[in-house]
A and B are shown apart, each in its own frame.
Chain A
Amino acid sequence: MVDRSETSGPEARFKAYLAEGRFMIQRGRSTGRYVFYPRIAAPVSGERDLEWVPASGDGTLYSITVNRTRDGNYNIALVDLVEGPRLMSRIEGVDTAPIGASVKARIAVLDGEPAIVFDVAEKATR
């Protein structure tokens, strides 16, 4: 279903939810498949019936690197959400983390804008 009262696209909707403190992702009504990053239709199959649902925030670290610069080091991570989609993010509070670690999402402010970051869910994995 396309909600014709909504004029803004999925990117703006996602950012608006984020500004309200909500991590929302899309799910196809007919297929049940989750989509991230937000799009106007399901990739591959093309259904236009994507609806917004709260993300669980639970994920697994798929890969990670530490970018080393003169101004300091920071990590960049790929996280697989339990819902299926993978996203780029950051593991907060640690230099790096082992691939396969369980991680949990929260909303942080990066460069003045709200963004999804993750914390390691199990203290032992450092």
Chain B
Amino acid sequence: MSETLRGQAAIVGIATAGVGEAPGRTSIELLGEAAIAALCDAGIALNSVDGVFAATGVHGLPAMSVAEYLGLKPSYFDGTNVGGASFEVHLLQAAAALYLGLCDVALVAYGSNQRTAGGRLVSLSEPQWHETPYRPRHPITGYAMAAARYMHQYGAAREDLAAVAVAARKWANRNPDAFARGPLSIEDVLKSRMISDPLTVADCCLVTDGGAACVLVRRERAPDLRQAPVYILGAGAALSHRSIAQMPDLTVTAAVESGQRAFEMAGIDRKDVGVLMLYDAFTINTILFLEDLGFCPKGEGGRFVSSGAIDPGGALNVNTNGGGLSCVHPGMYGLFLIVEAVTQLRRQAGERQVNAESALCHGNGGTLASQATAILGTQATL
């Protein structure tokens, strides 16, 4: 069963490129820069990559585009695109493909120049005909309706949402690579321009450029490479809907199922997870995922974050890079979660370093539609 995948593959190279603003560079160029740098980090030659996993906001056939651009002839490839969660899915697919011997070196890669290319969220996503007449603004409309419903159902306040943005900024202020740094208060968030009630511009992720990549090999080879390996202990994915009207309960995401699958495979307790990287496209996300992944009871997330539990030095180390809210968000953020988790587990995180042997990366895509969880660990967790 799924336990056989535990610890069978390891992330041995990571990199980002052009985080923030990368004027004059295209999405595939940023992806390529990150890929080459991640291979260099691992000490693996480009021409030994035989597994390609990619998704972007601009490539309809990403595995083909990436393989050609880098000059690869992969024996296994996967261009699954479920939005920002794609890369946690890719980790699972790559671990399975490596374990089965379908490939030996897997590259997961992403790139986007959406900030300098126009500053708007780019998406290949097809419109839903039963939504189009009402002119929803994707993706914020769905998240705003989830936030409104959550506040109605559980008595959460806008201050609770704001606490998520403030905690993310506190972490970003310890990360020299974060795009948005400087003071941010609850009042600042509340007074920011309202975009889609109850979410202000400060409740929304950044729009940046950026590429990211990671390289995986089987566990037998991992210890011989340049960096301390970070193993895939468990991973799981789940889909609940496509259009927000089809989401059964806007206060409960399919992270409940993806998290359950990942924890079952990993065989670790929630209390042993040292870093939580939760896809914070909007402030409501962090609250929903803390609950749905089992780190606080349903309906308590708002009070939990307002108590300082996710601030630096709080009960949980959440989004230590500053998150999509304050570090980087080039349209699909999922691979940056993985890069930060690996950076922390390698103890290369500088001023924001926490003491952790395992990390959870939770990706989210569409309007809370696709959920994918990956649990990573150091050699000590095997």
Taking beta carbons and an 8 Å cutoff, which residues of A are in contact with B? 11, 36-37, 62-69, 74, 76-78, 86-90, 96, 99-100, 110-111, 113, 115
Contacts and interface: CB of A to CB of B under 8 A. Distances in A.
Given A76-B135, A88-B131, 4 more contacts: A62-B250, A63-B145, A65-B198, A78-B250
Nearest to A74: B135
Interface residues of B, number: 28
Interface stretch (B146-154, B214-222, B305-313): B146-154
A78 B244 contact: yes
Contacts of B198: 65
Given A37-B130, A88-B131, A111-B133, A65 B148 contact: yes
Contacts of B146: 63
Most B Cβ at <10 Å: residue of A69, A78, A96: A78
B245 A87 contact: yes
Contacts of A96: 197
B245 A68 contact: no
Contacts of A110: 133-134
Interface in B134-165: 134-137, 140-141, 144-146, 148-149, 152
Contact of A65 (B129, B193, B196): B196
Contact of B136 (A36, A66, A88): A88
Q: Which 7 A-B pairs have the closest CB atoms?
A: A65-B144, A115-B133, A63-B145, A37-B130, A63-B149, A99-B152, A110-B133
B145 A76 contact: yes
B100 interface: no
A89 B134 CA distance: 6
27 contacts: A11-B129, A36-B130, A37-B130, A37-B245, A62-B250, A63-B146, A64-B145, A65-B144, A65-B148, A65-B196, A67-B137, A67-B140, A67-B195, A68-B194, A68-B195, A68-B197, A76-B135, A76-B136, A78-B244, A86-B245, A88-B130, A88-B245, A90-B134, A99-B148, A100-B152, A110-B133, A111-B133
